[in-house]
Amino acid sequence: MSIANSQPFRPHHLDPDVRPSEADIESVLLSHDQIQTRVAELGAQISRDYAGKDPVFVSVLVGAFMFTGDLLRNITIPCSLDFMAISSYGKESRSSGVVRVMKDLDESVESRHVIIIEDIIDTGLTLNYLLENIRNRNVASVKVAAFLDKPSRRLTDVKVDYAGFEVPDEFVIGYGLDFAQRYRNFPYVGILRPEVYGGK
């Protein structure tokens, strides 16, 4: 679902008792209600597609934690959950392309149907690494569910099988996404002001 033509609203339209750090938000792209509606749709679609397959969801920490929790609440078939932690940003606003595995899976996924859960796909470099890593574990299949997709930033050809929203080439935060470990707790997705991260 693309939101390129949707009309964002400004932080002053939010509740009057906003947190001071919300002044760092240039505009809001996705409201909490929009997010919950779309995540429910994805959960229903995955449940239909994987009926009888008992998939294992691999959530990529830390950014995907909110999306993972909400998505699994909308999964109606037997499934299991594991986590990987990957680092490719640090305190930078762009992916470095250098991937480090900070935490590996706790259980074997051999012969399992795996669904990787990501917060956002931009260059595709991290996802490409993850896909190869999982495929090398002799899985039955592997697909990708991503909350946000930013195809304008692609540097490698990767497929997002279940995409929440397509977003423009802006630095987005909230709903699990961060800059320097801040803003993850915001219930919406917003564009961070460039002066905050030293951007354009």
d(CA 61, CA 36) in angstroms, rounded, equals: 20
Count CB atoms within 10 A of the CB of residue 12.
9
Q: Which residues contact 61 (CB under 8 A, 6 or more apart)?
A: 83, 84, 85, 86, 102, 103
Picking from 158, 143, 129, the residue whose alpha carbon sits closest to that of residue 55 is 143
Task: Determine the Cα–Cα distance for residues 97 and 46; give it in Å rounded to an integer.
Answer: 29
Measured torsion, CA atoms of residues 181, 149, 79, 40, in degrees rounded to the nearest 10: 100
User: How far apart (Å, rounded) are the C-alpha atoms in residues 161 and 173?
Assistant: 22
Are 94 and 116 in contact by the 8 Å Cβ rule? The answer is: no
Residues 119, 71: contact at Cβ < 8 Å?
no
Catalytic annotation, pick one of 122, 149, 169, 178: 122
Sign of the C-alpha dihedral computed for residues 30, 32, 38 and 43 taken in this order = positive
The answer to whether the CB of 60 falls within 8 A of the CB of 118 is yes
Please indicate whether residue 122 is annotated as part of the active site.
yes
What residues are labeled active site?
122
